Amino acid sequence: MWQKIRVLYQDREYFSQLTHVAAPIALQNLLMSSLNMVSVILLGQLGEASVAAVGLAGQVFFLLNLVLFGIMSGSAMFTAQLWGRNDVTNIRRVLGLAIKLGELAALVFWALTMFAPEAVLRFYSTDPLVIAPGTRYLQIFGWSYLPFALTFAYSAVTRSTGNVRLPLVVSIAALILNTALAWALIFGELGLPKMGTDGAALAGLIARLFECGFLLTMIYRKPENPAAAPLSDLLSFDAAFAWRVLRPVLPVIANETLWSLGITTYNSIYAHVGTNAIAAMNIVSTIDQLAFVGFLGIGNATAILVGNVIGQGDKDKAFLYAGRSLGLQIAGALIMGALVALFGNLFFQLYRVSPAVIENAHQVLLIMAASMWIRATNMVIVVGILRSGGDTRFSLVLDGLVIWLVGVPLTAFGAFGLHLPIALVYLLAQAEELTKLIAGMWRYFSRRWMNDLTQTIEA
């Protein structure tokens, strides 16, 4: 058995490509998670109400982020396979379509933050100490949604065509700027006004604007860059082309929309357990994001590698690459889960919150650590394997519907029917992940997920 495992992982080409793509993506995710964690830690000095307010206001951005992820990862299914054939013309057409869809989604979310911020926040909490600062945060940070959608589109195409370093460099610069501004504006340092949660929102807005401008400047400095598309190329697709792309992409968008609504419903349920409960969940969430960055890197790198190979017509190699990534993901997540369980409590010392919040966070952390390998495996199945092969309808059922058929009902029953503490409510939510794991592994071994999307473009 061990000999077979050693042979399976002796492919230097696979590991070289995976490392080249996964490491920068993982580091970029680490930076973005660190950005969020820095804001939460800084606001944590103001108390749990501030942590809860920004955490709940951040749910709107979380929803937008996942809707955009659906649009851009769906588009990246095509660009990764098209790059395997060096088809720059169609890559730019797909980019143009992705930008249009992304900006439309961002406009909808911007309107919610401008015209109905309190209504949005009351879905999660009725605590006036949370709603007041959360409303102001939304009305400031909401202006960042439109440039963020543009950044997301160009970053996705840049990564799927092999340039994973540029988005990383841009993220580093944005993180440094956001951290410095957040510190100065929250506490009134460097001669700037003391703005509290409003300062965190303004710092985030400025950082997002800078991030977008920097990325576009670097891309368009080199006209040969596949993403450096003139406006005429971005608008060169017709309705027939758009429909051929959208047919497999729409299930991805629906998938991410349904899943993100499910996740935000989880957070609404947690918030109704109590302000202490949602504050604890926000603290643990930052630790989870940091621990998960490597698995996000492997998942997204798998999507690019497997997509490239399918585009080249080698489905056996695609199946092998996907299996190797599954094995790496499971082993890595088991190790990381153990480390989080042992040392995660050290992060709690960074927050000035009540002992009740810390106790809740400790209990949730242990459950999160134990379930990490299941969630990491599901991530590489859905994002790295099924989508790279264009199997978006099954992915929609697996990721977008199971959360509503299993996870949300159980969690709501635990919170409102049984009145369980937050840790047990969170435990019930993991039934969704277990269901997805069983169905997802079956789909992988069936090989029915591999589809050549370049033939769809050429039809």
Tens of pLDDT, residues 136-184: 999 999 999 999 999 999 998 888 887 878 988 998 898 889 889 989 9
- For residue 38, which amino acid is it? V
Helix 88-115 with 128-141: angle, nearest 10 deg: 140
Closest CA to 182 of 207, 205, 206, 199: 199
Q: What is the mean pLDDT of the chain?
A: 86
CB-based contacts of 317, cutoff 8 Å, min separation 6: 309
| Residues 145, 64 contacting (CB under 8 angstroms) | yes
Cα of 72 vs its chain's centroid, Å: 11
Which of 26-40, 151-165, 240-254 has the weakest average pLDDT?
26-40
State the pLDDT at residue 275. Answer: 80
The more confidently predicted of residues 56 and 432 is: 432
**Which of 367-370's residues contact partners 24+ apart within 8 Å by CB, and which partners?**
367/423, 367/426, 367/427, 367/430, 368/284, 368/287, 368/288, 368/340, 368/426, 369/337, 369/338, 369/340, 369/341, 369/344, 370/337, 370/341
- Tokens, residue 249: 């992409």
Residue 4: which pLDDT band, with cuts at 50, 70 and 90? low
Q: Is 229 exposed, middle or buried (0-12, 13-18, 19+ CB in 10 A)?
A: buried
What percent of the chain is predicted at pLDDT more than 90? 37
Q: Is 459 exposed, middle or buried (0-12, 13-18, 19+ CB in 10 A)?
A: exposed
- Residue 34 pLDDT exceeds 70: no
- Residue 211 pLDDT exceeds 80: yes
What is the tens place of the pLDDT at every residue in 52-79? 777 778 778 878 888 888 888 778 778 8
Report, as an integer, the average pLDDT of 374-393: 90
State the pLDDT at residue 336. Answer: 95
- Residue 245 pLDDT exceeds 70: yes
What DSSP letter does each residue of 282-310 carry, written as one string? HHHHHHHHHHHHHHHHHHHHHHHHHHHHH
- Tokens, residue 401: 């519907």
Cα separation values, 143 from 137, 201, 211, 213, 289, Å? 11, 10, 14, 15, 24
Closest CA to 117 of 138, 132, 133: 138
Report, as an integer, the average pLDDT of 307-320: 85
Report, as an integer, the average pLDDT of 324-344: 93
Which residue is listed with tokens 């942590």? Answer: 51
pTM of the model: 0.75
Report, as an integer, the average pLDDT of 194-206: 90
Cα separation values, 34 from 41, 166, 178, 430, 451, Å? 10, 19, 11, 25, 36
CB atoms within 10 A of CB 404: 15
CB atoms within 10 A of CB 166: 20
- Residue 39 pLDDT exceeds 80: no
Closest CA to 54 of 105, 125, 3: 125
What is the tens place of the pLDDT at every residue in 88-121? 888 899 899 999 999 999 999 999 999 988 888 8
Residue 390: which pLDDT band, with cuts at 50, 70 and 90? confident
